[in-house]
Chain A
Amino acid sequence: MANPLKCDLCAKPATVHLTQIVNSKIHKVDLCEACAQAKGVTDPSGFSLADLLLKASLNPEPAGDTKCESCGFTAQDFKKTGRFGCPACYGHFSGLLEPMLDTMHKGSAHTGKIPQRALARKSLYERLTQLETELDQAIKAERYEDAARYRDEISQVRSTTGRKAGAKHED
């Protein structure tokens, strides 16, 4: 064999290859004989691939020293508490989280309520910031026609958001 499969747990050559279907999803593992024994793979009644995968993914080694850049929360912290540090952790630890979602929930994508007003506010605010940057650049580059267009657009966006968004932005 040109490329012998390695054990998912200890990197020795794998001799046990297992495929299991849980919740209509295929999970595959390759294990060496010792690990297969230790994990009870040889006992078909008492073995769940999902558990093994979950534990393997929770193992700090593959996750390494990943740290949430926003709040400094680590994968070990998550392993200890089962909670995240901040909303941005969901992005940083998505590799850790995703395999868990299937067993935890009905699906892995949100299909419920959306905070329409907050999102609309956010997108307008972002649009405003973008337009202002473009306005600055246009002025610097002495593209006055563009600048006038950006200025008009900005006042238009402000008038639709009302005073609230305007006040939020330095006015």
Chain B
Amino acid sequence: MKINELIESHSELTDTAASKSAVVLMTRIRLARNLAAQPFPGWAKDAQKREIRDQCMQAVAALPQMKRGLAIPVESLNELQKQILVERHLISRELCHAKSGSGIVISKDQSCVVMVNEEDHLRIQVLRAGFQFKKVWAAINQLDTDLEEHMDYAFSPKLGYLSACPTNLGTGIRASAMMHLPALVISSQMEKVVRAVNQLGMAVRGLFGEGSDASGSIFQISNQTTLGESEEGIIKHLHGVLTTIVDQELNAREKLLETDPNKLFDKIGRAFGILQNGYLLNSGEAMNLLSLIRLGIDLGIFADAQRAVVDRLFIECQPGHVQHAAKGAFEPTQRDVLRAGRLRAEFAKVTAPDFSNAAK
């Protein structure tokens, strides 16, 4: 598979039928793995790094899960292609900035990705739309075990899988869920939630990970510690916390409907108006408007079928996707015109909100 084919083809996140899940948009697990007796990518010489990359990419691409997928060195991708992969949550921003000797292997359905020579030799990742920790863990555990057949991992019986950064030591696991929490944001409870989650040893980040903002009321919540607890234990613990947050969000929605439905309906209605008629929309504003529409769908104000459309637009209104759709490089202001145009066209097809359906 070629990179352009991959970008054009359906992906787990942009075209999933399973997008019936309110609140949890996506489940993702990654494992950090390194080869025994080889310097970590940040310390390896260029030639060593390339050798490690070739060895890893060959082994990964040969896995049955990666059949007819894409395996490509990072330096043969252009900036826009890299940006699109970041926007689909397939690769990290760090990997984009990697000078040379890094690579990517992506499965055909874009649910499994292995980054080679990012911070670690191997960053194995599986993602699925919805709240699916069991499935995702089963898939990634299998992928990891299959890979282990062909590679000797750096492993210590006492410290577990050895990673470049000691914060990933042990299991090397980071399990995360992308959550849509508009009611907690509207009712100003998010700060409290973030504090509580942090106290439980978990991290809250914005849509695109570390340092990104929480536009669209979308947050990524993940475990922070990796040593001293089994993978299943870590996932179970995180799952429990996430379930509580889902309940909190649903409670906050009910409360908003009870105390001031007019204000909430007004926000949703205005969002629909702007999406149907706006002419300049930056990605932050577009995300926030789409977030309100998604909340409207969850409340029954719009048809259920629209949820998959909104979830796709969350990704397709990002700068890389907007430029790709318009086939060129565009300045931010031009992108705002293009984005608004795309959203106008999408929302011209959407039936007007029916507020009487809410809270039933």
Contacts and interface: CB of A to CB of B under 8 A. Distances in A.
Interface of A: 70-71, 73, 77, 81-88, 90, 97, 100-101, 104-119, 121-122
A105 B201 CA distance: 9
B50 to A, nearest CB: 17
Given A87-B34, A87-B154, 8 more contacts: A83-B43, A83-B119, A84-B162, A90-B159, A90-B162, A112-B229, A115-B148, A118-B149
A87 B173 CA distance: 17
A131 to B, nearest CB: 20
B229 A107 contact: yes
B39 A86 contact: yes
7 contacts: A86-B40, A101-B169, A104-B167, A106-B225, A109-B227, A109-B228, A112-B234
Contacts of B164: 83-84
Q: Place the interface of chain B in its size category.
A: 35 or more
Given A82-B165, A104-B167, A107-B227, A112 B160 contact: yes
Given A85-B40, A108-B228, A110-B171, A97 B166 contact: yes
B166 A88 contact: no
A112 B170 contact: yes
Contact of A110 (B37, B151, B159, B234): B159
Nearest to B42: A83
Q: Binding site of A, secondary structure by majority: helix, strand, loop or mixed? A: loop
Contact of A111 (B145, B152, B201, B228): B228
B259 interface: no
A101 B156 CA distance: 15
B28 to A, nearest CB: 18
B141 A113 contact: yes
B62 interface: no
B226 interface: yes
Interface string B212-241: 000000000000011111110110000000
Given A71-B39, A105-B228, A112 B167 contact: no
Contacts of A81: 42
Specify which of B43, B144, B158, B225 lies most central, judged by the most chain A CB atoms within 10 Å of its CB: B43
B155 interface: yes
B38 interface: yes
Contacts of B40: 83-87
